[in-house]
Structure 1
Amino acid sequence: MTFTYLPIADMIGYSFTDWDGISPEKNNVGLKNYTDLFTRPELFKVFLVSGVYLIAAAVQICLALYFATVLSFNTKCRNLFKGILFFPYLINGVAIGFVFLYFFRPHGTLDSLLALVGIHGDHLWMGDPDLVNKSLAGVSVWRYTGLNLVLFLGAIQSIPPHLYEAAALDGANRWQQFRHIIAPSIKPVISLSAILAVSGSLAVFEIPYIMTGGANGSQTFVIQSINMAFKFDKFGLASASAVVLIILILFVTWIQRRLVPEERVELS
């Protein structure tokens, strides 16, 4: 509680002031910071960037669900593939950022790989506003697919084996087993992954901050808030921005739980 709720309470208090983060004086400005946020469209354009990450998160969940389903059966070398897919999640985010800076640089690894399949030219993966967010979102897919894979694998392995045996006796193929046994059984975990995907896409920070610093149209809501506080000394406005982000995540989560209510799955 001390390290969670008290800082949040302080942040809410700061959001009603014009504090610059340094001065001992904190003048109460009421709802001015929130008015500035909602009346300056440029501050909300960053949510378009979050949309790219949301699409990437959907791709990530689909990939994780596919690999988890395949690897839950008697696949050759499945433990090796599990390790390969989960390994990126274990790597420090800073290290990933620097590695992919070289991967995306002009004449770099990605351009060389594309040249092998006949796609020539130097692409400004980190400099072109039309490419930068797609490239960064691709890094996030590579990094976090393993996390969802582990969640799905754990849920799938909890399904009683006799359900597969009964389905096989009825002539069900792998797709039918997935549709009628696996998907309904792990629905709560899929719902959890969807909630994490939405909240994560709204609060993206680490990868774009390390790789671009928010330049070339890659600034996210969190990077914008940090720049407000530590670059422009608008700590009150940044606090208001953080409060809005928390409320937005909670609201989206509530909507999602209403649309997809949690159900108790009986496996028998």
Structure 2
Amino acid sequence: MFGLSYKQQKMVIVCSFLLAPLFFLTVFSLYPASYLIYLSLTDWDGISKVKEWVGFANYRDVFRMEDILNAFSHNLIYLFWGMFQIALGLFAALIVNSRLKGRNMYRVILFMPYIMNGVAVAYMFNYVYHTEYGSLNAMLRFIGLDNLTQSWFGSPKLVNHALAFISVWKYTGFNMVIFLAALQSIPSEMIEAARIDGAKRHQIVWHIILPNLITVIELLLFLTIIGSLEVFDLPFLLTAGGPLGASETFVTMTVDTAFEFANFGLASAMSTTLMAVVTLLIFTQRMLIKRWES
């Protein structure tokens, strides 16, 4: 090929295959991330041509402003329910992987919420949680628990838990399917041998099943951490951050800071901080899992 040696031809082919991915990685990831970091060090309204250099002032504001810290604490509620969601998905996978009658039907029913449109799910739960004619309060009244009826989106203490439960309802089926695929890859002979040796159900789960699911658990933890810290659609569609900012998340506040208050510098600093926090949490998770494996 054009008088090139075999090694040179091989190098040209390898470089040509790498060039396109590297180009798209640079254009759509590296450059935007670098520009975001640059904007976080400036005071810019998103319109003017002048970007005033302010150094780390925006980052100081991120860690000093009480509203931003409160918004981040709301994300931790989603993270807590996300951990519960993973455990619930594993439990459901163990159930439908057994010899349960009609297990295929249960798999379909549990997976259905995941394939539903997110906006449709949000509006559906808007009726479920409605104070006056919502199905949840109606059910509580029907079974005689009138004292438990709530304004689910009107209570600052309950609103984030109510929103996070929607995510649990939607994504538990996805977790179940991932766990189910991993469970079916475990050799049945290994489990049968443990049963013959007298191992109880919980011992099989703890000593055989869980160690074989560690890679899947790590994946789901990764997705859950990212998802819980980047929550936007549910509070945006259902509560608009209310009541009085009680359901404001870090991302919704970042969007408001940029497009409502025209402070793109602070919004960029918030985005960069979130990126750093996610990276730190993923790294910590990886280290803990490696230690548990050893």
Gaps of 5+ in 1: none
Q: Which ranges of 4 or more aligned residues in structure 1 deviate by more than 4 Å?
A: 262-265
1:229 aligns to 2:258 (yes or no): yes
Tell me what 1:211 maps to.
238
Helix, strand or coil at the partner of 2:199: coil
* Map of 1:112 onto structure 2: 138
Q: TM-score, normalised by structure 1?
A: 0.93
CA RMSD in angstroms, aligned pairs only: 1.8
Q: Offset at 1:116?
A: 2.0
Partner residue of 2:46 out of 21, 28, 33: 21
Q: When the two structures are aligned, how many residues end up with a matched partner?
A: 265
| Residue in 2 that maps onto 1:73 | 98
Assess if the C-alpha contact under 8 Å between 1:225 and 1:238 holds in 2: yes
Deviation track 1:86-122 (CA, whole Å, cap 9, x = no partner) reads 1111111111111111111112111111112211155
Aligned pairs for 1:33-48 within 5 A = 33-48=58-73
Structure number having the greater helix percentage: 2
The CA deviation string for residues 41-92 of structure 1, in whole angstroms up to 9 with x for no partner, is: 3321112212211221121111101011111122211111111111111111
Q: Aligned runs of 1:116-265 on 2, under 5 Å?
A: 116-120=142-146, 122-216=149-243, 217-261=246-290
Q: Which has the larger radius of gyration?
A: 2
Is residue 2:132 matched to residue 1:103?
Answer: no
Structure 1 vs Structure 2: percent identity of aligned residues?
41
Q: Deviation per CA, 1:159-178, whole angstroms, max 9, x where unpaired?
A: 01111221232233432321
In the alignment, structure 2 segments of 5+ residues that lack a partner are 1-24
Cα distance between partner residues in 1 of 2:64 and 2:145: 44
Q: How much does 1:264 deviate?
A: 8.2
TM-score using structure 2 length: 0.85
Contact 1:188 1:263 in 2 (8 A): no
8 Å CA contact 1:16–1:29 kept in 2: the answer is: yes
> Would the aligned equivalents of 1:69 and 1:178 in 2 still touch at CA under 8 Å?
no
Deviation per CA, 1:100-159, whole angstroms, max 9, x where unpaired? Answer: 111111121111111122111552111111111110011111011112111111111110
CA displacement 1:23-42 (0-9 Å, x = unmatched): 22222221121121122233
